[in-house]
């Protein structure tokens, strides 16, 4: 139910539970912000996506994100990412 429509807000305990449950995303965000290397940022995003995928009940997203993460972590995936970043930034 939408809390803004009903005027009810979740209890402080519910809010704390949600914060605790989703706090790993804050760590991913902090790592992402503090990293300058595009490939390292992509790996952090892939890790965060894997974490989120594990929160769902379907295995398909786990499998897809796992495969994409593996490709990204490979030397060829890193080369592809860096090539794409160079093209977007007009460096090559």
Query: Tens digits of per-residue pLDDT, 56-67?
Result: 999 999 999 999
Query: Tens digits of per-residue pLDDT, 69-82?
Result: 999 999 999 999 99
In a domain, 57, yes or no: yes
pLDDT at 5: 57
Whether 20 has a pLDDT exceeding 70, the answer reads yes
Query: Tens digits of per-residue pLDDT, 22-52?
Result: 899 999 999 999 999 999 999 999 999 999 9
> What domain count does the chain have?
1
In a domain, 52, yes or no: yes
Whether 1 has a pLDDT exceeding 50, the answer reads no
Q: Which residue has the tokens 């995936």?
A: 77
Whole-angstrom distance, CA of residue 30 vs CA of residue 32: 5
pLDDT at 59: 93
Nearest CA-CA partner of 14 in 1, 26, 27, 28: 1
In a domain, 44, yes or no: yes
Nearest CA-CA partner of 50 in 68, 23, 35: 68
**What residue numbers bound the domain in which 67 lies?**
24-89
pTM: 0.77
pLDDT at 92: 56
DSSP string, 52-90: HHHTSS-HHHHHHHHHHHHHHHSHHHHHHHHHHHHHHHT
């Amino acid at each position: 139910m939408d809390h803004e429509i009903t005027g009810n807000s979740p209890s402080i305990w519910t809010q704390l539970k949600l914060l605790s449950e989703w706090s790993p995303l804050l760590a991913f965000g902090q790592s992402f912000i503090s990293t300058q290397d595009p490939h390292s940022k992509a790996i952090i995003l892939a890790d965060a996506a894997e974490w989120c995928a594990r929160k769902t009940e379907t295995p398909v997203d786990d499998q897809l994100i796992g495969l994409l993460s593996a490709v990204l972590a490979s030397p060829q995936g890193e080369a592809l990412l860096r090539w794409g970043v160079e093209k977007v930034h007009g460096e090559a």
